Amino acid sequence: MQAFVLVIEDEPDIALSLSRYLERAGYRVSTRHDGGAGLEAFLNDKPDLVILDLMLPGLPGLEVLRSIREIRSTPVIALTALTTQEDRLHGFELGLDDYVTKPFYPLELVSRVQAVLRRSGMNGVLRGRGGLNLDLERHAVKLGDATLELRPTEFALLAAFLRAPGRVFNRLELLEAVGDESRDTLERTVDVHIRNLRQKLGNDHGIETVFGVGYRYALE
Ligand code: CA
């Protein structure tokens, strides 16, 4: 599975060279040149990671970040000429995952992208309770020594839970996570997947029902 990176950067040269380097490193890349278009692409395309220039025409970068954070916990790396301590702190308060100051070496940014994705579990192994291991590259799930056979939808659901333990997901968000956004069978579909997933994970499944809202994964 190729991770998908959204680059929001108004300087065409930087955006172009960045997307070339990222593509060479194996990522799928999309670029936008202002804050509004960037936010729209974020909502529509659901990237795995966002590279966000903070000095943007139109909607400022920190506003884009704030809007992103209201919706999803997608990792965001900021790109900026602003270097004051205050800006940095403000960015981190808003939920930035990393910061790169211009001018920068594209390869350095690529390695930051890899590190952030690894931390967020995009490229590697997600862990859950009771020795649960979900290997995103091999698409394999183990519970202790036992291999679990999960359907692709169950795998995607579990990955969404393990990326954000403790977070409450509503059913629509869970359908988005499995790539099924037809709303007609909304509740029942999710509930069936969850029931099957719980059964496969056993007694210590960790998937809690949040009454009237949806589900959450409890790490302990
Ligand atoms: Ca800029």
Give the pLDDT of residue 43.
94
**Does the pLDDT at position 67 exceed 60?**
yes
Give the pLDDT of residue 202.
94
Instruction: Answer whether 208's CB lies under 8 Å from 216's CB.
Output: yes
Alpha carbon of 9 to ligand 1 centroid (Å): 6
Helix residue ranges, H only, 25-151: 35-45, 61-71, 85-93, 106-119
Please give the average per-residue pLDDT across 2-30, as a whole number.
92
Instruction: Answer whether 6's CB lies under 8 Å from 49's CB.
Output: yes
Alpha carbon of 101 to ligand 1 centroid (Å): 12
**pLDDT (tens digit per residue) in 113-123:** 988 887 776 65
Give the pLDDT of residue 119.
73
pLDDT band at 103 (very low <50, low <70, confident <90, very high): confident
Output the pTM of the full model: 0.59
Alpha carbon of 8 to ligand 1 centroid (Å): 9
Alpha carbon of 110 to ligand 1 centroid (Å): 19
